[in-house]
Structure formats: structure tokens, C-alpha cells
Amino acid sequence: MSSGKTYNVGILGATGTVGQRFISLLATHPEFRIHTLGASSRSAGKPYPQAVKWKMSSPIPECVKTVTVQTCEPQYFSECHFVFSGLDSDVAGEIEKAFQGADIPVFSNAKNYRMEPAVPLIVPTVNTSHFDVIPQQRALYNTKKGFIVTNANCSTTGLTVPLKALQDAFGPLDKIMVQTMQAISGAGYPGVSSLDILDNVVPYISGEEDKLETEPLKILGSVGSDGASFQELSQTTISAHCNRVPVLDGHLECVSLSFHQKPAPTPEQVIEVLEKYTCEAQSLGCYSAPEKAIIYDSSSDRPQPRLDRDNCKGQAVTVGRVRKCNILDIKFTLLVHNTILGAAGSGILNAEVAAAKGLFN
């Protein structure tokens, strides 16, 4: 972004862990200014430091220490150009719809509207072309400026970045098997009990496998001919196993896949494609866009959460161990920072792309 314009932004669910990550990432943003913070009625009326149990590794930013928390009602956010939603899905649906109806754009981390035909489900380093649906969404819901854009589930986000690179290079993908090892921060706060996760792996995360098997089909699909819906990749089938592991941040995923193209690409060809992949957010010069959307690490034992989750300030997906699969065609390991690119960072970069595309004008 190069306009130099400053945008007032609001954060819904500002006291939760995703809301806290939004604040920590936005505190030094050159064009997005934190203006209003929203949370439940229990927190409303309190200065932010009194309302929050701060869980980020960095201190509460100075810019929010004197901000009084409001309830999540559009009337308190009227001076915001748009809002980021870190709300829990139990309450996000009605609140986000109210903001859309009040002509305040919403960038949501919640699952409620991800699979709605007229709502873009965008991974900002994958499918920003899906912003093309916004005019049709506005017409459908009779709004002038309001819209809802969702980012994906954290594991879906990590998976779709290399899949997009491979799909662009080699055509439609056939079958995908993915096993995740997901960090505890993905469960929010207080999250998983210490008695459940210490010295243990939990081989079940409610709703996660369904998201990982369905969301990529929309993200990797194309806008329909009517301009208001999406065509799923019906030729692609995904099977997922999702596990919670005792890691603070960073989702590790082991992926095996096959291509419709035969002969299938070699590991060397796959690596070349991954290393050369670029996205629109980079070409637009967005502030939060990673220098490299995909980082390929040739080490035999990488990526690893502790060593690689912060690559490109958490906005890159790191891929390693690309090799031939004895059952499908290719297998590899990937790592995504689940609360940055996998959550708040996606919302922020999506908003940067939207600004560059003139969607707030």
C-alpha cells in the first residue's frame, strides 16, 4: 500500500487471544490506527488493561492503554472504516451481520460465514481474486460500504498456500491426505486443560477435520459465472486427521497428494515451484505481505515450530521434506504460525489488499 491514507479500525472480541494478537500486530501498523475496542458487556466501560488478561509475550501496547472497551454494537464503531472480528463463533454471527448492515466492513476470523456463497473465504497469499465477489455481496444485502470477508481455519490456511502454488503449476489436484499437529494456542484461552495436553497428544479437535476437508475447496476454487458464488474443486478429495500437541504456537502438517497430471511432477519440480511462488499481496506492496509466501527449507528435519513459525514475521508458510510418496505422488511437511497467518495476520493482510483494491472508497 502506498496511498499514505490512515484508516481507523475497530476490533471485536478485543480481550480474547485472537483480539490480543490483532492489537499486537496493529500497534505499529503505518496505515491502520486502532480506534475502538469491543468486547462483552462484562468488559464494557473498563479501560482495556483492566478488561483483559493479556497473554501475548510482548507488553500491552501504549496505544490501547487508555482506550475504554465498548460493547460490540455498530453505534460505537461509527468512526471506523472497518473492523476486525476475533469473536467466538457462538456470538459472531449476529454481531458481524449487524456491522455489515450498518455499512461497516468486517474482516472475520470466525467460522460462521466462511461457506456462505456470497462471502469470500480468503487466504491473503492465495486467493485475493475472490474480493471480486464484494460488489455482488453488497447488492445482495443492500449495503453501500458494508461487507463480510472471512479468513480460513488456521490449518486450512497453512495447507492452501503450497496447494495453490502446485495447482497453478500442474493443474487440478486429485487426492490429498493431511495429518496436523496443532498448537495449544489454537484453542484460545483458557483452552486445553494442562492435565489433557502435558505429556500427551489429543487425537481429536472438534470440528477441525471437517473444516480442513471442505474450506480448501472454496479457497482453491474460482468465482462462478454469476459473480456471486464459488465453484468448488469437485475433482479434489481431502482426508484429514487433526491432533492437538503440547506446542505453544505453530501448526505442523504432514501432507501427501496426487495430481491428475500424469506423469506427476518430480520432487525437484515441486520444490522449484514452491520456491518461485508469489502472490498478489506481494505485488500490491502490502505492508504485512511476506517477502516470500513460501519458504522451502532443504534441511532433513525442518520445518519445526520453535525454529520456523516466525519466518517473515509469521506470514510465511515454511515447507520441507518434499519427497516421493509411495502411495500418492508427493509428500511434504509444512508449518504455519496459527495465530498470525492462520488468524489475525490473515485478517490484517486481507484488509491491506482490500484497501489497495479501493474497497473502502
3-state secondary structure of 319: strand
Catalytic residue among 72, 80, 154, 312: 154
Find residue 173's DSSP bridge partners.
Answer: 259
String of DSSP letters for 236-253: -EEEEEEEE-S-SS-EEE
Q: Has 154 been annotated as catalytic? A: yes
Catalytic residue among 72, 80, 130, 251: 251
Contact 154, 343 (CB under 8 A): yes
3-state secondary structure of 63: helix
Q: Has 251 been annotated as catalytic? A: yes
C-alpha span between 265 and 330 (Å, rounded): 8
* Exposure on the CB side of residue 11, measured as CA atoms within 13 A: 29
Greatest alpha-carbon pair distance for the chain in Å reads: 63
Find residue 319's DSSP bridge partners.
Answer: 296, 334
Query: Which cell numbers hold the place of 308?
Result: 520456523
Query: Which cell numbers hold the place of 24?
Result: 499486537
Query: Which residues are known catalytic residues?
Result: 154, 251
